[in-house]
Amino acid sequence: MDSRAKTEITVQGIGASQGIAYGQIFVYLQSDVEVPSYQVEPEKRIDEVARFDRALVVTRQQISKIKNEVEKNIGPEEAAIFDAHLMVLEDEALIGETIREFNATGCNIETCFQKVSSRYVQAFSEIDDEYLRERAGDLRDVAQRVLQNLLGQAENALNRLVDQRIIVGRDISPSESATLDRSAALALVMDSGSRTSHAVIVARSMKIPSVVGVRNLTQRVRNGDWAIVDGYDGLVILNPSESTLFRYGKIQERKRSFEARLLEANRQPATTLDGVTVPLLANIEKAEEVAKVKSFSADGVGLYRTEFLFLSAARMPNEQEQFLAYKTVVEAMAPAPVIIRTLDLGGDKPLAGKSDLFPKETNPFMGFRAIRFCLEHVDIFKEQLRAILRASAYGQAKIMYPMISGNEELARANAVLAECRAELKAKGVPFDEKIEVGTMIEIPSAAATADLLAQECAFFSIGTNDLIQYMLAIDRVNDRIAHLYEPTHPAILRTLRGVVTEAHKRKISVSVCGEMAGDPVYAPLLLGLGIDSLSMSPAWLPSVKYLIREMTMADARKLAEEALAMGSAKEIYAKCDAFYRARVRMD
């Protein structure tokens, strides 16, 4: 973009960390490490492996230092992000494959490590689950550091900005965001990324406004360009006019006042104006997040993703290790419920030290994963089920199966669970004998047979992310068709209403744990369709709770009925947005 051009341009992205900033842009173009390739003479191969070991040690020291600084300056929860980075350096599969590649080819260790780590990064990048897909950034960050240390290069850093700047980059790594100079970094803007990326989590903790998903903005701006970053609405306004600057000054004042009202509302129950209380729960992936769940006054944990425990470890955790992790969460949240989802692993999610369990698949998202994997590897499944059952003695744990496609799979899973119950009972190990068991509704076939599934479980949790993707045949990772991902598509609304109807006939509850649940524009629609509870990222709870307290359930039901009669996803969204704006006042 020509910096002399003064035309105001608005770029739409995704608001990832709330706040508004105005200032000059610094374009941060990280360059990939250029790795030379050459053959290592046989007599020098032992030394080459030793050089690799030294680079791993140095990298571990660097990351440990960053972790300690983050814990001191930001907090222990944000510091825990770097536990996953340290685990990468202990990953037997990654390190072992690198050594095997070196022994087989004789190429220098940098070339071998880059080849193997790139394969792992690619695998994580193709995962549909947004939380797990972002772990590709963690692995890429660690791999970059290892390569820099092998090549004797200085690490990239954003802690030496000469003046206050809005940082615009392609994809800023967690360790780079953690070393930001908070006094100089006005905002973060990234071409890629999502609201769940670790870099954004760190920025959010620092109260730095962030916008992600602006697609090639790094190629359209120059150092020194002036811009406004709106982390609320996901906007980057280049060359803002005087009227825009004035308007945003007023908006910022109103936003600060509104944030104070959000925090005040968050201390109150999520009760509508006509007296209906809605349970609002939190999605988590590790025990360290419990403190945040409590700080946002969640009514429990609606989705505990257990994959992180497996994917962040150097080896597969055993039953005792799993039990301790689940017990920590269940005990800390008691008497509130904790819904623990069993493993959603597959060919798209590399498992430490066990890559042989997952054959290479052309389409892993519809392949050997989740409950299919667990029913094939019953020993792994039973270890997890026993660990969850044991943890249930310390609070209100619930079990939830992922990716159930029909009644037969549910029956098989419940049969394995029955065996685990019997085994623990025979050994006199205590557990909650009335523990509730539910299933995710995220596959169209499960939604279509909800009446059958409802006979065999105690609750449903609708995973709208996958359900929408599978129903509309949309790959959200594919930028060319991602715009077709429409949560308000009439087919989706009719499906949700159908699932709720069948569940309520059997007197079982229905929750939504996908992204729709955490969006205050969609939340009233979901509740109007009959959804009983919503589960979301803890940080989204205040916005949803505020809106619930400003509406009546009768109005939400009317909104849903009107939406069901409409044929356009865009028109339905506009109606939901109008419902939201009529009740959320910024002044």
* Cβ-count burial 281-310 (b if 16+ within 10 Å, e if not): bbbbbbbbbbebbeebbbbbbbbbbbbbbb
Residue 504: CB atoms within 10 A of its CB come to 14
* Cβ-count burial 62-85 (b if 16+ within 10 Å, e if not): bbeebbeebeeebeebbbbbbebb
Cα–Cα distance between 159 and 166 in angstroms, integer? 13
Q: How far is CA 355 from the centre of its chain?
A: 23
Cα–Cα distance between 127 and 54 in angstroms, integer? 32
Which residue intervals of 368-463 are DSSP H helices? 370-376, 378-391, 407-426, 444-448, 450-453
Cα–Cα distance between 523 and 329 in angstroms, integer? 26
46 CB contacts (<8 Å, ≥6 apart)? none
Query: Out of 198, 457, 489, 576, which one is annotated catalytic?
Result: 198
Q: Are 188 and 203 in contact (CB under 8 A)?
A: yes
Say how many residues make up the chain: 587
> From start to end of 170-294, where are the E strands?
185-190, 210-212, 226-230, 235-238, 280-284
Cα–Cα distance between 461 and 510 in angstroms, integer? 6
Partners of 226 in beta bridges? 24
345 CB contacts (<8 Å, ≥6 apart)? 307, 310, 311, 351, 358, 369, 370, 373
Partners of 146 in beta bridges? none
Cα–Cα distance between 586 and 257 in angstroms, integer? 7
Cα-based distances in Å from 250 to 53, 254, 288, 379: 56, 6, 38, 60
> In what side-by-side order are the strands of the sheet with 14-17?
9-12, 235-238, 226-230, 20-28, 165-169, 185-190, 210-212, 14-17
Whether 420 is catalytic is: no
Cα–Cα distance between 568 and 564 in angstroms, integer? 10
Query: Out of 374, 420, 457, 513, which one is annotated catalytic?
Result: 513
Whether 504 is catalytic is: no
For residue 487, whether the previous peptide bond is cis, meaning omega lies within 30 degrees of 0, is no
- End-to-end CA separation in angstroms for the chain: 36
- What DSSP string describes 508-563? -EEEE-SGGGG-TTTHHHHHHTT--EEEE-GGGHHHHHHHHHTS-HHHHHHHHHHH
Q: How far is CA 382 from the centre of its chain?
A: 26
Active site residues: 198, 513
